[in-house]
Amino acid sequence: MMPMNRRTALAGGAAVVLAAACGQGEPKDAGSFSAPATPPAFRDGMAMAAAIAAGETTALAQVEAAIARARTVEGQINGIVTETFELARSDAGGVLSGPFAGVPSFIKDLIDWRGAPTLKGSRGLTGHRATADNVFAAKWRSAGIVSLGKSATPEAGLISSTEPLSNGPTRNPWDISRIPGGSSGGAAALVAARVVPFAHASDGGGSIRIPASTCGVFGLKPSRDRLPYSEPGAIPPPLQISVNHAVTISVRDSIALFRAAETQASGYPMLGEVQPLARRLRIGFAPEPIGGTQLHPETRAALEDVAQLCRDLGHTVIDYTIPMDGPKFTDAFITYWAAGAADFARQVSEYSGKPISPEIVEPWTLGLAGLASERMADLPGIVGYLLAFQEEYHAFFSDLDLLLTPVTGSPAVPVGEQGPDGDFDAVMDSVLSFVAYTSPMNVAGAASMSVPLSWSPADLPIGAMFSGRRGDDALLFELALELEAARPWVGRKPPVTAL
C-alpha cells in the first residue's frame, strides 16, 4: 500500500466560506445570558430524576432551571446549535416515564430528534427538520429525557475540534481560548459548565473520549452494537466504527444511561447492576502515541500520576508497548475516514441540489474527500487490513485486563488550530498529533473510556483512557466507580460554569 499523501490540495480550490447557516429552531437570545439569582447545587441525572419522582420538584421546574443555566454560559461557550426550549417545556408538561423522567439534556446535532433540525454542522443541510427520532434518540425519549436542543458538532463529526463554519467555534469552559475537542464538543462543554448533568455524544474515532478529556467530564465509548446506532434496514458500512452514548459528570449516570439504551438484540448479556470491582487488574501502561508523534510533557506527567494511582489501589501496572504498526494503521484509518467524508459530501449535494463545492461543505471536508479520491484503488485493501486489525487488537490482552493510555497527545489546543477553513496540511498535522490514541478501539469495536483524573498546571483537564476488549463495558464501569471514589471530580468546576 502506497503511503498516504497528506499534501492533497483542497478539492475544487476550496475558498474559505464564512456564511452562517439560517436559523432552523428557536433563535438564540444573545441578550438574555443572565445568571440565576440563587444557583442550585449540582445534582446528577439520577438525583434529579429521583427528586422529580418524589414530588420534590417537577420536570418543568428542572427544564426551566436548565434553560436559565444555558443562558448563563452559552454566550461564552457557544455549545448549542438549535434551542428547542418551547418544545422542551411542552414535553416537560406532559406525561413522562422512564428512569430519567423529566431530566433535561441535549442531543448532538448528528442524529434526529423529532421536531428539531438536524444540520450535522453543515451549511448544506439548512432546512432539514426531523419528523421522527433516530433509533438511539428514541431510547432516550423512552427513558423520559427532555431535550433542550441540539449540541454543536463539527461538520459530519469529521474533526477533533468543534468549529463549524455554520455556527462558529465552541469554546472550552476551562479556557475559552481553547477547543473543547470534537466531535461531541458542544455536549462536553455544556456538561462541563453544569448546564445539564449529561448529554448525548457519539464516537467514530474518539469523539466521546476526546471532548470528555479536554472538558474534564466522564465519557465511555461502548462496544460496537452494544447500544443502538444504525437505523433498521440501513445498509451497513464495510466496518462500523461509530457508536452512541453520552458524556456525564457522574459515572452512575453513564451506567444508568447505558442500561436505558441497550437492547436484548445486541447479542451481549444485559449490563444489569454494576458491582464494585471485585478483583485487582493487570493494566498495561502505554503512554507513547501510536503514530510516532510527540507526547506533551504535561500529558505524560498526568498519565504517570494516574498509573501510580492505580498501583496505590492495588492494581498491577506494567510498562507496555502496543505491538502494532502505528503509521500503517493511522494511514489506513485516515483513508477510511476520508471515504466517509466523501460520502457525506455526496449526500449534502443530493439534499441541496447543488454540486459539491465550498458553498455547501467545508474546506476540511473537501480536503478529506480529495484524499479518498486519490486512494480509491487502495480502499478494498485498507478495509481488509482494518477488519483483520480487530483480532490483532484483541491479542493485546492475552496477558492484560486493560490498557492505560492518554486520550490525546496534549491538553486542549487553541481555537483555530484545527479550524475547518485552515491550511489543510497544518490542520492534518495538528489532528494527527492530538488524536494519537483513540481510533484503534473504534476499529476493534472495543470498550474504552476517558476518566477525568488530572489537570495541567494551567488547570486544563487531561483525561486518562482505559481500554479493554469488545464487551468489557461492565469492567470499565467497575473501574470507573473505583477511580471516581478514589479521586472525585464532581466538585472541580471550570471558570465558566452555570453553578
**Structure-block grid coordinates of residue 40:** 442550585
* pLDDT, tens digit, 9 for 90 and up, residues 409-424: 999 999 999 999 999 9
* pLDDT, tens digit, 9 for 90 and up, residues 79-135: 999 999 999 999 999 999 999 999 999 999 999 999 999 999 999 999 999 999 999
Residues 6 or more apart in contact with residue 498 via CB below 8 angstroms: 35, 36, 39, 68, 69, 70, 72, 73, 193, 194, 195
Give residue 229's pLDDT.
95
Give residue 38's pLDDT.
40
SS3 for 146? strand
Which residue do the cell numbers 475537542 mark? 181
What share of the chain in percent tops pLDDT 90? 89
User: Where is 135: in which H helix or E strand?
Assistant: helix 135-142
Mean per-residue pLDDT over the chain, rounded: 92
> Which one, of 480, 495, 398, lies nearest residue 209 by Cα?
480
Is the predicted pLDDT of residue 30 greater than 50, yes or no? Answer: no
Burial track 185-198 (b if 16+ CB lie within 10 A, e otherwise): bbbbbbbbbbbbbb
**Structure-block grid coordinates of residue 149:** 436542543
* pLDDT, tens digit, 9 for 90 and up, residues 471-480: 999 999 999 9
- Cα–Cα–Cα angle for 417, 418, 423, rounded to 5 degrees: 85
Give residue 32's pLDDT.
32
- Which DSSP category does 411 fall into? S
* pLDDT, tens digit, 9 for 90 and up, residues 180-192: 999 999 999 999 9
pTM of the shown model: 0.92
Strands in 80-83's sheet, in edge-to-edge order, are 80-83, 146-151, 104-108
List the domains of the chain with CATH numbers: 32-486 (3.90.1300.10)
User: Where is 247: in which H helix or E strand?
Assistant: strand 243-248
Between these two residues, 21 and 53, which has the higher pLDDT value? 53
Active site residue 493: no
Give residue 233's pLDDT.
87
* pLDDT, tens digit, 9 for 90 and up, residues 377-403: 999 999 999 999 999 999 999 999 999
**Structure-block grid coordinates of residue 44:** 446528577
Between these two residues, 5 and 272, which has the higher pLDDT value? 272
Rounded CA-CA distance 189/407 in Å is 17
Helix locations, 295-325, DSSP H: 297-312
- Which DSSP category does 155 fall into? G
SS3 for 21? coil
Question: In this predicted structure, which of 1-5, 272-276, 320-324, 400-404 has the lowest mean pLDDT?
Answer: 1-5
Strand partners, 221: 448
Question: In this predicted structure, which of 10-19, 66-75, 232-241, 272-281 has the lowest mean pLDDT?
Answer: 10-19
Rounded CA-CA distance 146/192 in Å is 19
Question: In this predicted structure, which of 25-39, 207-221, 225-239, 432-446 has the lowest mean pLDDT?
Answer: 25-39
φ and ψ at residue 279, rounded to 5 degrees = -140, 165
Which residue do the cell numbers 490482552 mark? 397
The residue annotated as part of the active site, out of 207, 213, 352, 450, is 207
Which residue do the cell numbers 460520502 mark? 343
Rounded CA-CA distance 363/190 in Å is 27
The residue annotated as part of the active site, out of 108, 139, 150, 221, is 108
Give residue 358's pLDDT.
97
> Which one, of 228, 226, 201, 229, lies nearest residue 214 by Cα?
201
DSSP string, 36-55: -SSPPPP--HHHHHHHHHTT
Active site residue 207: yes
The residue annotated as part of the active site, out of 122, 160, 183, 352, is 183
Rounded CA-CA distance 271/226 in Å is 10
Give residue 283's pLDDT.
99
- Which DSSP category does 312 fall into? H
Active site residue 328: no
* pLDDT, tens digit, 9 for 90 and up, residues 455-473: 999 999 999 999 999 999 9
Which residue do the cell numbers 486493560 mark? 402
Give residue 40's pLDDT.
54
Between these two residues, 33 and 427, which has the higher pLDDT value? 427
Contact 219, 479 (CB under 8 A): no
Contact 196, 146 (CB under 8 A): no
